[in-house]
Amino acid sequence: MALQSGETLAMLVGNIWSKPRSRYWTLLGLRLLAFLAAAAATLVMALNKQTKTFVVGTIGTTPLKLTLTAKFQHTPAFVFFVIANGLVCMHNLVMIMVDLVGSKFDYKGLRFPMVAILDMLNVALVSGGANAAAFMAELGKNGNSHARWDKICDKFGAYCDRGGGALIASFLALASCFSFLSSPYLNLSTRRPIVLFLTTIINPKPQTIFISMDCSNISHCICLVFQMYVLLLLL
Amino acid sequence: MAESKRIFTFLLRFIAFCTTLSAAIIMASSREKTTVLALSVEAKYSDTPAFKYFVIVNAIVSIYGFLILFLPSKSQLWRLVVALDAVFTMLLTSSISAALAIAYVGKEGNPNAGWLPICDQVRKYCNQVKGALIVGFISLILYILLFLYSVHKALNPLLLEKS
């Protein structure tokens, strides 16, 4: 598509306050929904624990009891689910802050592609976590007769229900993350007048958007933020 | 320069198509029949919904990759390719993570749930599933590269091109 300059298009991708007000609030609301859903999924799965006592036999008159606990740490897929949703939750929180107060600081245009790339990472993380946990939960619910793996949901019903709730929340977070990842692309794939309108309103004022922040060493700040984020991701 | 870029991306798409096709075929042809304690045990990919999902997703993505190879480079549909690449990359990530979760249980078992590992009994099946997952990972990496490239071509997120 023929736009006047490459910078305006990048701003459209990574930056949401140069869009019309209703779209700004829609995208912010979607990010808030993703943050809350991911937080709910993390908390519900992380606190998922059920202890149950089974009677396995009797010696004379005293019954033999066996206490079994179902915890989320027993399954690596659920551990990955908790970690992935925790990271997604923190990422969405950081992005909400960036969208609300980010207009005061600017890293000379590096922030816009970083936001876009990190959003893609976000979606991949939450997609991987949610799907792995979904198939593990299906295995726990139905078992696998060919491999002789018994289902556990009939014994640990509350554990399964809570896990299912966390999964629903995580899929909701996935849906909203994917929608605001792809919302700039939906607008740009048609030559509707709204695109030209947006570019004309952005174009005459590039200097107001590239405000240099008062940091003694800008590249140092960028490296620090990126390192923090990478550390968070590798947690 | 543009010509070599075009050839390179065509080659990348072709290799990605080949890897998704082979991942689907390797997983679908994994089958083993053994006797354990005088019982005949058969392991197929269709026993587990996660592996079925993996095969189906890789088949869909390979059909998509095959059709994309024939798209002329000046067509307007390349903007749609950005969106479709995003969707299919996400599908691939979900399929591989699901298959990996179940394959881990098959290999290591889950003693807390009383699930024993099955890889000792059906070794050939396990190795074939492992091979399919490795090929699936390679195809995922290729599709991520292709997705980033098509985003870069259609939009200009890193501000690398002077307008």
Q: How many CB atoms lie within 10 A of CB B43?
A: 23
Measured from the Cβ of residue A47, the count of other Cβ atoms closer than 10 Å reads: 11
Among A33, A29, A122, A54, residue whose Cα is nearest residue A84:
A122
Residue A192 has pLDDT above 70, yes or no: no
CA distance A131 to chain B (A): 5
pLDDT, tens digit (0-9, with 9 covering 90-100), for A208-234: 322 223 334 444 444 445 445 544 444
pLDDT in tens, A108-161: 666 776 777 788 888 999 999 999 999 999 998 988 888 888 888 888 889 999
- Do A135 and B50 lie within an 8 Å CB cutoff? yes
Q: Taking CB atoms and an 8 Å limit, are B156 and A74 in contact across chains?
A: no
Contact state of B106 with A113 under an 8 Å Cβ cutoff: no
Q: Are the Cβ atoms of B86 and A182 closer than 8 angstroms? A: yes
- Nearest Cα of chain A lies from the Cα of B93 at a distance, in angstroms, of 6
Dihedral angle, C-alpha A125, A130, A136, A138, nearest 10 °: -160
Highest mean pLDDT: which range of A72-81, A180-189, A218-227: A72-81
Shortest CA distance from A11: residue in chain B? B157
Helix (H, G, I), strand (E, B) or coil at B33: strand
Chain A residues whose beta carbon lies within 8 Å of the beta carbon of residue B106 = 147
Written as six digits, the tokens of A153 are 């949901």
Question: Chain B window 117-156: which residues touch A at a Cβ cutoff of 8 Å?
Answer: 118, 144, 151, 155-156
In the structure, what pLDDT confidence band is assigned to residue A201 with cuts at 50, 70 and 90?
Answer: very low
**Cα(B30)–Cα(B86) distance, integer angstroms:** 29
Look at A30-34, A112-116, A137-141, A166-170 and tell me which has the smallest mean pLDDT: A112-116
Contact between B111 and A71 (Cβ < 8 Å): no
B49, A143 Cβ separation under 8 angstroms = no
CB < 8 Å to B119, chain A: none
Count Cβ–Cβ pairs < 8 Å, chain A vs chain B.
123
User: Taking CB atoms and an 8 Å limit, are A134 and B86 in contact across chains?
Assistant: no
**Alpha carbons B149 and B153: distance in angstroms, whole number:** 6
| The Cα angle at residue B130 between residues B127 and B135, in degrees rounded to 5 | 130
Asked if A113 lies within 8 A of B157 by C-beta distance, the reply is yes
Measure the CA–CA gap between B31 and B27, rounded to whole angstroms: 9
Which of A106, A146, A180 to substitute to test the interface with B, most B CBs within 10 Å? A146
Q: Please tell me which of the candidates A10, A131, A147 has its beta carbon nearest to residue B94.
A: A131
DSSP B115: B
pLDDT band at A101 (very low <50, low <70, confident <90, very high): confident
Burial B99-135 (b: 16+ CB within 10 A, else e): bbbbbbbbeebbeebebebbbebbeebbebbeebbeb
Which tokens belong to B155? 């939009």
pLDDT value for A211? 26
Contact state of A147 with B118 under an 8 Å Cβ cutoff: yes
Q: How many CA atoms lie within 13 A of B109 on its CB side?
A: 14
What pLDDT was estimated at residue B132?
A: 95
Q: Does B39 touch chain A (CB under 8 A)?
A: no
d(CA B134, CA A89): 30
Give how far A42 is from chain B: nearest CA, Å: 18
Q: Which residues of chain B does A180 touch, with a Cβ-Cβ cutoff of 8 Å?
A: none
Are B158 and A10 in contact (CB < 8 Å)?
yes
What amino acid occupies position B7? I
Residues in chain A closer than 8 A to B155 (CB atoms) = 9-10, 13, 184-185, 188
Q: Which residues, in sequence order, are bridge partners of residue B43?
A: B32
pLDDT in tens, chain B (163 residues): 778 888 898 999 999 999 999 999 999 998 888 877 777 778 888 888 999 999 999 999 999 999 999 887 777 777 788 888 888 999 999 999 999 999 998 898 888 888 888 888 888 899 999 999 999 999 999 999 998 888 777 665 555 554 4
Q: In chain A, what percentage of residues exceed pLDDT 70?
A: 66
Q: Which residues of A touch B46 (CB under 8 A)?
A: none
For residue A55, give the H/E element and its range: strand A49-59
* B43 reaches A (C-beta below 8 A): yes
pLDDT at A188: 44
- Residues of chain B with Cβ-Cβ distance to A178 below 8 Å are 90
